[in-house]
Structure 1
Amino acid sequence: MKQRLIKWFPLVGLVVPWLGISCSGGNNSIKMKGSDTEVNLAVNLAEKFTEQDPNFSIAISGGGSGLGITSLLNGQADIANSSRPLSEEEQQQFKKKNILLKTVIFAEDATAFVVHKDLPIAEITVETLGKILSGNITNWSELIDADYPINIYGRQSSSGTHSFVKKKLAIEFTNAAKEMTGNAQIIEGVKADRTGIGYVGAGYVAEDPIASQGIKVLKIIEKEGEHAISPLDQEAINQRIYFFQRPLYQFVLAESWEKVRPFIAFERSATGKKLIEEHGYYILNNQQDEI
């Protein structure tokens, strides 16, 4: 059966925000939207899955976890990729519309904090990060021997990564933080700004080291006196001792579950797990589905 692959770049900052793999069979058409943290992985999983089963048509777009969840609410997606759990408000919205979901936790991610490669800093405490991102520390001279104003490259409020970092640090982001549309835009911003600091999915950095040249991944110290831990340290992630690590979710409309099930099964196959690990994510032993 003929297979067609299309890549389109409608939004700045997304590496591959839309993928269409098309063939006949409308009942096997899947729409997946959401997290920019997961979008590159989702694209590669879909490509490999449709190579094995060309009867499926899969369309993928990014835009943030919130957008994916909203798309489920509006009937515009079968799967929402999300780097955060549903909020209480979102749970109530689904309940009000009598929409049942299936929840799949399929991998573990770590959030990396990055700076320009020439900035003389290699590690940072959680407390200090909170002060920077909330605007209480505004110049690098308060931390290192460099008199530069700190420029923050963050995500939009619809981003699951934005919500995750905010919750972990128990802060409100400073209004001075730049709101970027995805990992790629943050990386490019920090590359070009010696005073910048940003946060991205560690899997994004690990997957494409060439694209990440020009930036430095900071090691994180949870408490003063403790060892600094890198989000690229797989052993630390396996031991769950990196402060900014989290599960990755896929929320699936219950009415779409039977259609989506073969794709979820592929994610859990040896091939799917290998792809997940190659993207810098980590396989969970307690993968689960909840209805």
Structure 2
Amino acid sequence: MTFHRLISTVLLSFSILLCACGNNDHTIKMKGSDTEVNLAVNLAEAYNKTDPTFSIAISGGGSGLGITSLLNGQADIANSSRPLTDEEKTLFQKKDIRLKTVVFAEDATAFVVHSDNPITEIDVKTLSKIMSGQVENWKSISGQDVPINIYGRQSSSGTYSFIRKKLKIAYSQKAKEMTGNAQILEAIKIDKSGIGYVGAGYISKKIQDNKGIKVLKIKNEVDSNAISPLDPTAIKNRLYFFQRPLYQFIPEKSWDKVLSFIQFETKGEGTKIIENSGYYLIQ
């Protein structure tokens, strides 16, 4: 998260807290996915302009944290970049918490390396070997005889689970666990041996903001076409290996309160914000 975005989030949260003191029924608490948090802030800022009586308190921390917050009655919306696990479904049933599920956008997970790394694309099989620690040096891949440094997310992250399942691996024990997408990008910018994964929505449309990083194209097979996570046509045609839906889980008791916001992001002005923020609409 950039400094400007961080300040925006803090200011938004501060104004929300002030409003919340007067009317809790008009305050929505949203927690969860770090992949979705920037998008959620953009949507909340725009929605607040259409209905100033509503305030939306937003925090990240990972999909697992958002889902746990619902179980503990601490949120109205849990942002999640993965579906519920069977264990989580059982916990909600035991607590008699009925949920509504909204799929409001789609994300493509991007793999990034330092801009000085000579490779521009990578196949899934090689990527699996890197992320699992089976290959620990760039020499056989890029020709550079330097160790590979892996930057990933913590286990509470939906993206962590998504990549692990797509690659069918256990992560290398040497992988560095970062708290968010922004931290991964900053680490890659200063580590010429690094590789990491982030939501494509975190890749800025401003070239100067991406100085120091390179987004890799992904090949499903060694001899297949390499696809960029930043290619909207490829995403629309479901050609990119690491694309996925983004979820919002909402307790039924909160549904009436959040409905107007949900309609804003799925049918109203929010759809344009989703696209402009680097995410994709569900086709």
- TM-score under structure 1 normalisation? 0.91
In 2, the alpha carbon distance for the partners of 1:206 and 1:106 equals 21
Per-residue deviation, 1:130: 0.4
1:72 aligns to what? 70
Q: CA separation in 2, counterparts of 1:243 and 1:34?
A: 24
Q: Could you tell which deviates more after superposition, 260-269 or 226-235? A: 260-269
Equivalent residue for 2:165? 167
Give yes or no for contact 1:108–1:246 (8 Å, CA) kept in 2: yes
Aligned residues: 275
**Which letter maps to 1:276?**
I
Deviation at 1:211, TM superposition (A): 3.0
Q: 1:84 to 1:207 in 2, by over 3 A?
A: farther
Tell me, in whole angstroms, the C-alpha distance in 2 between the residues paired with 1:109 and 1:151. Answer: 25
Q: Distance in 1 between matches of 2:23 and 2:130?
A: 51
Instruction: Name 1:137's counterpart in structure 2.
Output: 135
Which protein has the bigger helix share?
A: 2
CA separation in 1, counterparts of 2:205 and 2:214? 15
Q: Counterparts of 2:84 and 2:130 in 1: how far apart (Å)?
A: 27
Matched, 1:118 2:108: no
Tell me the secondary structure at the aligned position of residue 227 of structure 2. coil
Alignment CA distance shift 1:241-1:27 (3 Å): same
Which residue type is aligned with residue 171 of structure 1?
I
Long gaps (5+) in structure 1? 1-6, 286-291
The answer to whether the Cα contact below 8 Å between 1:78 and 1:253 also exists between their aligned partners in 2 is yes
Percent same amino acid among aligned pairs? 62
In the TM superposition, what whole-angstrom CA distance separates every residue of 1:143-194 from its partner, at most 9, and x where no partner exists? 1210010000000000000000000000000110000001110001000000
Shift of 1:208: 5.4
Per the alignment, residue 265 of structure 1 pairs with 263
Residue 102 of structure 2 is aligned with which of 101, 104, 113? 104
Give the Cα–Cα distance (whole angstroms) in 2 for the partners of residues 71 and 210 of structure 1: 37
Residue 163 of structure 2 aligns to a residue whose secondary structure is helix
**Match for residue 128 of structure 1 among 126, 129, 145:** 126
Instruction: Output the TM-score relative to the length of structure 2.
Output: 0.93
For 1:211, what is the secondary structure of its paired residue?
A: helix
Output the CA distance in 2 between the equivalents of 1:161 and 1:178.
Answer: 14
Instruction: Verify the 8 A CA contact 2:29 2:57 in the aligned structure 1.
Output: yes
